[in-house]
Structure formats: structure tokens, C-alpha cells
């Protein structure tokens, strides 16, 4: 490469920093009674959170196992309410334990919560793992618009990444909690007569449509209800799962969950992103094949 003609841009002297780091390890650290911070944030997430004036405190967990009474999955009609009750109870209990762990370390909330739900024949297991965070003290520290007391009394729980959290905060919003909804339904059956009659018809199977439609709506409705209950105005990053139970193919489960959010600023703050035109080549590494074919000459493929 030829020399650069532009003015030198000040870059952090990373080698000097590395030497400083090495020197810090050259002498044994004095014994410390301090409680070490634990976090499952990625390096980028931790840096971003620091830049926004927040700091990680502790890796926190909440796990609950709730029983599903026997016979619940047997053939029937309509929705399987005992299964959705068990699902809700497990999520609520896991979130309560997660909040409890967060409160113990004086966290204002939990970000990046990984949600793991497993529906078994006789029990539903819910595992929540995330990192408790709080605004940093001193200059450069962030601020919790709810105030410290309110935040400690009811820490938020969110499955948003640290990136999404800082973006949301900048726009004047704050997560309040996980919003969850689940509904389970029996795959409907037609009477023998109807099935016979419809064999040669191209028709909508209305009972199927209705059952699936209302089960999906019901899961989302429960989710929205739980968001309102938690004090949120709406739900972002909704995820939907659906499918038959592996142990009961005639039963279909629908779940919907996301992070309930509320506006804490006076009004929505416009983030006003800068529009950039990246000049990066789309090809990540040199692709010798691209030289051989004229239609790949622009190197647009990977």
C-alpha cells in the first residue's frame, strides 16, 4: 500500500495499553474481599452499556418447574387451559426468582435474558438467565428515570440485548418486564359424515381455521394482558412459537413473548440515525473463483 496523504488521525495507542495491562499482572494483586462482578454480556455489549453509563453487576437466574396434571393431554375438544395455566405459573415464578436475585445485588433490572421453555408431558420447565445492571455512580453515570427506590422495588426484566436496551433508553423508553402468553389447543376433528362429505370438495375446514386462529389470538392476547399488568404500554420484539407437542401430536402449543416497554420520557425521543453508505466490498475474503467467470466479476457473491 502506498503512503497515506491525509492528516494523521489520532488512534488509541493500543500497544501502550497492552503493556499497561501486562504490567498490572507483573505484580501479584493484593488480596481482595470484593465481590467479583459476573456477567454474560459480550465484550461489545459491555462496552456499549458502559458508554451509556450503566454497569453489569451479576449473572442472575430464575428457574421454575411446574407440574401438569395427568390426563391433560388426553383427547378432547377446545383449548387445554390447565396446560396454559401451568405455563403461566412457571414463567411467573421464574421471573419472580430472577427479580429476587437482581434485587439482592441492588440491580435496577436484568438485560439480555435468555428464555428457555420446555414443555414435557408432566411438567413445564422455564429457565431465565440474564445480567443484572444498574446506572453507574459518579460522572458519566447513567440515570434511571424511575428513580432508584422505584427501580430497586421492581427491577425490570428484558430479553433485549444491551444494544437494544441502550437504544430504547435513548429513545425515552424503558423495559418493564417479560410479557408472556401461551395457549394449547386440541387439533379439532370432523365428524365421520362431514369428513366423508368433504372428501371430494376443495373447501376451507372451518373448524381447523377457527381452532388455530383463536388459539393464536388467545396466546397473543394473554401476552398483551401480561404487558399491561406489568405496567407496560406495549410489547417489542415479539417472538412466536407454535407446533405439536412431541409427546402428544394431537395437541398444538402456541406461545408469544417479548419485552413490555413503557415511555418514561415526556415524549418519544427521535434517535435520528445518520445515513451511511459503506464502501466495504461485499466479499469478505478473496475469492479466486470470481476471477474466472465474467458474470461474477464484480465480486458481489460470497
Partner 1 sequence: MSDAAGSGPGSADPFDAPEIAPPGGPAGDLPEAALRRLESSSFSSGLSVPDFAACLDLGLQPVALVQGFCVMQWGWYGPGSSTMRGMSPYVGGQLAPGSYSETYRCPHGYVSAEHRAWGQNIEQSWVEEAWAQGYHTAYGRMLEEAGTMGAHGVIGVADLVSNVADTGTTEFHFLGTAVKVEGGPPPAGGVPWSTYLAGQRLTKSIEAGFMPVAVVAALASVRVWAYCMTEYYMDGAMGGWGTNMGPALVEQVSKAHMASRQLARKHVRQQLAGDELHGAMISIATRELSAGDEVIDCTLRGNRMRRFKDFDPVALPRPTVRLS
Footprint (CB under 8 A) of partner 1, residues 150-189 = 166-167, 170
* Closer CB to partner 1, 49 or 235, in the complex: 49
Which residues lie closer than 8 Å to 162 by C-beta, 6 or more apart? 41, 45, 46, 48, 49, 111, 112
* Nine-digit cell string for 297: 466479476
Q: Is 8 in the site for partner 1 (CB under 8 A)?
A: no
- The secondary structure of residue 135, as a DSSP letter, is E
Q: Which of 201, 246, 274, 289 binds partner 1 (CB under 8 A)?
A: 274
Give CA–CA dist 163/165, Å, rounded.
5
Q: Which of 3, 7, 9, 34 binds partner 1 (CB under 8 A)?
A: 34
Count of residues engaged in binding partner 1, rule: CB under 8 A? 77
Q: Is 136 in the site for partner 1 (CB under 8 A)?
A: yes
Range 9-28, binding partner 1 (CB under 8 A)? 12, 14-15, 17-28
Give CA–CA dist 174/166, Å, rounded.
9
Range 63-92, binding partner 1 (CB under 8 A)? 63-71, 82, 85-86, 89-90
Q: Which of 74, 76, 77, 122 binds partner 1 (CB under 8 A)?
A: 122
Which residues lie closer than 8 Å to 163 by C-beta, 6 or more apart? 44, 45, 48
Q: Is 46 in the site for partner 1 (CB under 8 A)?
A: yes
Q: Are 243 and 217 in contact (CB under 8 A)?
A: no
Range 224-263, binding partner 1 (CB under 8 A)? none
Q: Which of 8, 10, 193, 273 binds partner 1 (CB under 8 A)?
A: 273
* Nine-digit cell string for 90: 412457571
* Closer CB to partner 1, 82 or 212, in the complex: 82
Q: Are 242 and 252 in contact (CB under 8 A)?
A: yes
CB of 145 to partner 1, least distance (A): 17
Q: Are 58 and 100 in contact (CB under 8 A)?
A: no
Amino acid at each position: 500500500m502506498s503512503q497515506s496523504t491525509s492528516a494523521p488521525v489520532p488512534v488509541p495507542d493500543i500497544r501502550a495499553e497492552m503493556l499497561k495491562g501486562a504490567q498490572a499482572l507483573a505484580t501479584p494483586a493484593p488480596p481482595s474481599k470484593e465481590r467479583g462482578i459476573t456477567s454474560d454480556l459480550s465484550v461489545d455489549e459491555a462496552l456499549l452499556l458502559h458508554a451509556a453509563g450503566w454497569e453489569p453487576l451479576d449473572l442472575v437466574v430464575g428457574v421454575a418447574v411446574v407440574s401438569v396434571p395427568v390426563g391433560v393431554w388426553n383427547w378432547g375438544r377446545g383449548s387445554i387451559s390447565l396446560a396454559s395455566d401451568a405455563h403461566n405459573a412457571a414463567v411467573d415464578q421464574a421471573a419472580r426468582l430472577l427479580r429476587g436475585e437482581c434485587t439482592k445485588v441492588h440491580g435496577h433490572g436484568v438485560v439480555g435474558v435468555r428464555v428457555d421453555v420446555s414443555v414435557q408431558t408432566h411438567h413445564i420447565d422455564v429457565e431465565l438467565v440474564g445480567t443484572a445492571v444498574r446506572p453507574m455512580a459518579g460522572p458519566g453515570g447513567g440515570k434511571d428515570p424511575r428513580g432508584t427506590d422505584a427501580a430497586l422495588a421492581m427491577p425490570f426484566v428484558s430479553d433485549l440485548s444491551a444494544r437494544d436496551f441502550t437504544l430504547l433508553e435513548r429513545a425515552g423508553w424503558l423495559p418493564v418486564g417479560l410479557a408472556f402468553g401461551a395457549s394449547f389447543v386440541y387439533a379439532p376433528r370432523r365428524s365421520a359424515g362431514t369428513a366423508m362429505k368433504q372428501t371430494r370438495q376443495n373447501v376451507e375446514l372451518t373448524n381447523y381455521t377457527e381452532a388455530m386462529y383463536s388459539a393464536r389470538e388467545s396466546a397473543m392476547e394473554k401476552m398483551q394482558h401480561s404487558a399491561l399488568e406489568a405496567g407496560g404500554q406495549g410489547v417489542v420484539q415479539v417472538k412466536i412459537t407454535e407446533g405439536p407437542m412431541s409427546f402428544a401430536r394431537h395437541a398444538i402449543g402456541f406461545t408469544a413473548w417479548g419485552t413490555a416497554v413503557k415511555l418514561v420520557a415526556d415524549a418519544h425521543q427521535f434517535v435520528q440515525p445518520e445515513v451511511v453508505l459503506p464502501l466495504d466490498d461485499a466479499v469478505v475474503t478473496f475469492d479466486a473463483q470470481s476471477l474466472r467467470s465474467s458474470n461474477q466479476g464484480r465480486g458481489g457473491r460470497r
